[in-house]
């Protein structure tokens, strides 16, 4: 759960979500990631550190560059958690559908 909490905490910030959206297009450097934001490169680096600690991105050193990319399987735990919620909601809706069908059947029976 700690990793899931860290991922959701990281995703709560719109700048970090924008960074992830950019990284979805492929690996890029910190300087390229910082370009569209009205913030310093060190501020972007702090966002990247949060994303990296949450397991959402990986960084490597390539000379003076620090390319970043989405971590393999980064969203897998989030997907599993959301799938569990979807299954629970679907079960609730199935029970509701069944209850409504039973109520409708009783209503029709009472009218005859």
Is the same domain home to 12 and 65? yes
What's phi and psi for 28, nearest 5 deg? -155, 170
Is the same domain home to 11 and 58? yes
Q: What is the pLDDT of residues 72-83, one digit of tens each?
A: 988 888 999 999
CATH number of the structural domain spanning residue 60:
1.10.10.10
- pTM of this structure: 0.76
Range(s) of the domain holding residue 85: 75-112
HSE-up (13 A, CA, CB side) for residue 62: 11
CA distance 54 to 89: 27
Is the same domain home to 66 and 82? no
CA distance 89 to 75: 21
Q: What is the pLDDT of residues 15-49, one digit of tens each?
A: 999 999 999 999 999 889 988 888 888 999 999 99
């Amino acid at each position: 759960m700690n990793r899931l909490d860290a991922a959701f905490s990281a995703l709560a910030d719109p700048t970090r979500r924008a960074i992830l959206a950019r990284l979805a297009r492929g690996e890029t450097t910190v300087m390229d990631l910082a370009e569209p934001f009205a913030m310093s490169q060190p501020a972007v680096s702090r966002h990247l550190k949060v994303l990296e600690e949450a397991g959402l991105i990986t960084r490597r050193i390539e000379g003076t560059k620090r390319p970043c990319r989405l971590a393999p399987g980064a969203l897998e735990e989030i997907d599993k958690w959301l799938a569990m919620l979807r299954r629970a909601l679907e079960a609730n809706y199935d029970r509701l559908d069944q209850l409504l069908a039973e109520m409708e059947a009783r209503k029709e029976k009472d009218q005859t």
